[in-house]
Amino acid sequence: MSNNILPVDFESFADARKQGFLDVKNLKDQGKKVVGMYCTYTPEEIFIAAGAVPVGICAFSDETIAEAEKVLPRNLCPLIKSSYGFALTDKCPYMYFADLVVGETTCDGKKKMYELLGEIKNTHVMQIPQSQFDDASQELWYKEVLRLKERVENDFGVEITDDAIKAAIKIKNETRNLLKEFAELSKLDPPPIMGAEQLKLNYGQLFKFDLEAKNAELRQMIDKVKADYDSGVRYVPEGAKRILVTGCPLAGVTDKVVKAIEESGGVVVVYENCIGYKPIAMNIDEDAEPYRAIADRYLQIGCSVMTPNTNRYDLLTELCRDFKVDGVVEMVLTACHTYAIETANIRILMQSQNIPFISVETDYSTSDAAQLKTRMAAFIEMM
């Protein structure tokens, strides 16, 4: 599809996870505390305000799954098995250096895995309500945010001041605004970059720990992409079918889905899922009481754990319209029951908008790469 000539700046984000191994070790050597996170529901502002370094530790590789399966059942979500396997084997520096690991009850598999993880790592589990709209659920989540604050203060021997939490909210809002501005560049037709490059940045920015420097780099990247586009540079051909990707968290080996789409005449213009638009769609109210504002914002993330999950449907509708989507591809990980069951509602939603839709189930192997390409080629050909 593309001529593979890409802004050199993207390599900074593509290599960020590997470079971050050294960065996080240096930060530990400086006496910084490190907090490992699994989910976009985890309010990292609390860790930032405590002077700690938050880092994502979800795993997207089959490298340690065999080791995990000595303890966990084989018919379990690969993300859970991979994440636990990296904890068991100490093959992930981020997990190794984590002073605290924060999990959340987004699915039954995860919450039982966290019990086992707690035997080998200092682990805190946030109890997520299954609804976003009733008063009891909102109050439960608010109390969970306060409980996390207290755990961080006690474990790290710090006091999180009002000024610190407000500053953390502000800088994270700035990051979300920049990521949203970057994502929305792909509203252009043709979009300025391929979806694979967008995914590199979305994932890579998670491993840049100097927040002010990261925001400056994002600003520079956005300006560079805009300038290239305005000067007539095109990396995506006219007429490429515009695809939205939704479903389970997407990174690592599952980029085979993006590769199949973009080798078949499509271009991913927006990712709705966790490493995409979903976690940046809303900011935290900087004028409200900080912890209530944090709770209110994070609880509204549209994950399939919620019932009903109308926030996901509303966001998908908005993104399909604003990005002028030609088709929607859902990626569901094997044994992820909430997303697999919700597929029926997403299909109905897309049918109501006359948007072609396909859902694919996959895992962390590469054995289905050829089949995925065949299916994506047929899906795009019919548009």
3-state DSSP: the chain helix, strand, coil percent, rounded to 5? Answer: 55, 10, 35
Helix (H, G, I), strand (E, B) or coil at 69: coil
State the average pLDDT over residues 297-308.
Answer: 97
Query: What whole-number percentage of the chain has pLDDT above 90?
Result: 91
Sign for the CA dihedral angle at 364, 367, 370, 376 comes to negative
The predicted-structure confidence for 238-295, as pLDDT tens digits, reads as follows: 999 999 999 999 988 899 999 999 999 999 999 999 999 999 999 999 999 999 999 9
Q: For residue 151, what are the CA distances in angstroms to 35, 211, 235, 287?
A: 12, 23, 47, 25
What domains are defined for the chain? 14-163 (3.40.50.11890)
Q: What is the mean pLDDT of the chain?
A: 94
**Distance between alpha carbon 80 and the CA centroid of its chain, in Å?**
15
3 has pLDDT over 70:
no
Evaluate the omega torsion of the peptide bond into residue 190 and state whether it is cis, within 30 degrees of 0. yes
pLDDT at 13: 66
7 has pLDDT over 90:
no
Angle at 204 between CA 274 and CA 216, to 5 degrees: 110
Structure token digits, residue 165? 């939490």
The predicted-structure confidence for 119-151, as pLDDT tens digits, reads as follows: 999 999 999 999 999 999 999 999 999 999 999
Angle at 54 between CA 52 and CA 58, to 5 degrees: 150
pLDDT at 11: 64
Q: For residue 25, what are the CA distances in angstroms to 16, 17, 94, 96, 300?
A: 14, 13, 9, 10, 34
The predicted-structure confidence for 190-249, as pLDDT tens digits, reads as follows: 999 999 999 999 999 999 999 999 999 999 999 999 999 999 999 999 999 999 999 999
pLDDT at 251: 87
Q: How far apart are CA 259 and CA 268, in angstroms?
A: 10
